A and B are shown apart, each in its own frame.
Chain A
Amino acid sequence: QSVLTQPPSVSGAPGQRVTISCTGSNSNIGAGYDVHWYQQLPGTSPKLLIFGNTNRPSGVPDRFSGSKSGTSASLAITGLQAEDEADYYCQSFDSSRDGYVFGSGTKVTVL
């Protein structure tokens, strides 16, 4: 049972916009801790996609954007491309566990 809740799957046609939600609680996101997002392409290791709620590491396209409000956060992918088909995970710090917590993961399918 993951501490952060994500929808199991989202899908969209090429060029469309999709969003992935990440719902936490008052011991993690709601306590003000940052949310980070990772992309895991099939058969590969996770890659940092968004850090500090809204920041993109160098090399990550600006099609990817993050936001946070209250006890939730969201990842948006605009102009969806076939190469975006992957699993996406949110992550934060949880004060009751004194460590990193991950979301349950969301599979993005490009129709």
Chain B
Amino acid sequence: QAQLVESGGGLVKPGGSLRLSCEASGFTFSDYYMSWVRQAPGKGLEWLSYISSVGVTTYYVDSVEGRFTISRDNSKNSLFLQMNNLRADDTAVYYCARDREAYGAPYWYFDLWGRGTLVTVSS
């Protein structure tokens, strides 16, 4: 059964750093683009970043560009998000999600989501 499990969330002070992980199982991880999506308390979904199936291509939304770095290790079926210079408005549940690749491009929708990990940025 395909599954994504996030970890690494927690309480961090403004300006601090955190590294999130997402472990995949039950499917061929290297066949998928992977993304991070967050949801602030009581708010909607915000897509943050994606990485291509072999990790060559990455993309970020403006709000996290230069502060967050997405990476993956296909040998360990794992996705990562390094978050630096965190701000209070980064407080959210962070989800990893998969998007199948075909002919070098994603399908542009997420067919599997993890349960999420909560990041709280507060002094």
Q: Which residue of B lies closest to A100 (CB)?
A: B47
- Contact partner, B45, options A33, A46, A48, A51, Cβ 8 Å: A46
Q: Is the CB of B59 within 8 A of A34?
A: no
Does A83 have its Cβ within 8 Å of any Cβ on chain B?
no
Q: Is the CB of B45 within 8 A of A34?
A: no
Interface string of A80-111 (1 = CB under 8 A from B): 00000000010111000111111111000000
Q: Is the CB of B115 within 8 A of A102?
A: no
- Contact partner, B108, options A34, A102, A103, Cβ 8 Å: A34
Q: Is the CB of A98 within 8 A of B59?
A: yes
Q: Is the CB of A99 within 8 A of B61?
A: yes
Q: Is the CB of A46 within 8 A of B113?
A: yes
A100 to B50, CA, bound (A): 9
Query: In the complex, how many residue pairs between chain A and chain B have their CB atoms under 8 Å apart?
Result: 58
B89 to chain A, nearest CB (A): 14
Does B55 have its Cβ within 8 Å of any Cβ on chain A?
no
Interface string of B80-112 (1 = CB under 8 A from A): 000000000000000100000000000111111
A52 to B108, CA, bound (A): 9
Task: Point out which of A38, A92, A99 has the most chain B C-beta atoms below 10 A from its C-beta.
Answer: A99
A20 to chain B, nearest CB (A): 13
B95 to chain A, nearest CB (A): 6
A88 to B113, CA, bound (A): 15
Which residues of A are interface residues toward B (Cβ below 8 A)? 2, 33-34, 36, 38, 44-48, 51-52, 57, 89, 91-93, 97-105
